[in-house]
Amino acid sequence: MVKVAVIYYSSTGTNYQLANWAADAIKEAGAEVRVVRAQETAPKPAIASNSKWEQHLQDTEHVPEASSDDIEWADAIIFSMPTRFGGVPSQMKQFIDSQGGLWAAGKTANKVVSAMSSASNPHGGQEATLLNFYTSMMHWGAIIVPPGYTDQSAFTSGGNPYGNSVTHTPDGDFVEDVEDAVKHQAKRVVEVATKIHG
């Protein structure tokens, strides 16, 4: 059975939802899944300044924090994160940057990897975030599996070929209908990982 880690960072819940949809699809595809979150590293005053951020952090305390063990365990990894000024959020960057030991031991090589993102406006950096993130995965020697246009859901979810992305309103509502596209991306990851590691 292929093993897939879904590693996400979410401040107010958008990427937590994407991660859970991906996990549902991974189970449906017959693979084993772990959903884990990047450690929250933002200062407490910043979190306290946004009631939704503070509430989401409390609501997801039960979700295990991601560790090197999750990467080593997984045949494939789906990452989900918001954009921060067109780049990877510091919480996810800290997690990636702390995997030097695994990388040096060759344990990140040949991991099947895909990623998803979000922003509060349609041109808020989702694509740039994914492309920036994939640069790190190239250094890992990972096998990047984007959704491309391999399913009709791409045309109803915003059409991001690099990885699903969603725009959310200030209230947290999704602008695009991305559930089917997220699930397709996750199943595609399982399919490719099965061919490589199955």
CA distance 6 to 51: 26
In whole angstroms, give the CA distance from residue 191 to residue 187: 6
List of domains in the chain? 3-197 (3.40.50.360)
- pLDDT tens digits along 73-88: 999 999 999 999 999 9
What's the chain's length in residues?
Answer: 198
Using CA atoms, how far residue 138 sits from 38, 81, 91, 193, in Å, is 20, 18, 20, 17
Taking a C-beta distance cutoff of 8 angstroms, is the pair 81, 16 a contact?
no
Per-residue pLDDT tens digits for 133-160:
999 999 999 999 999 999 999 998 988 9
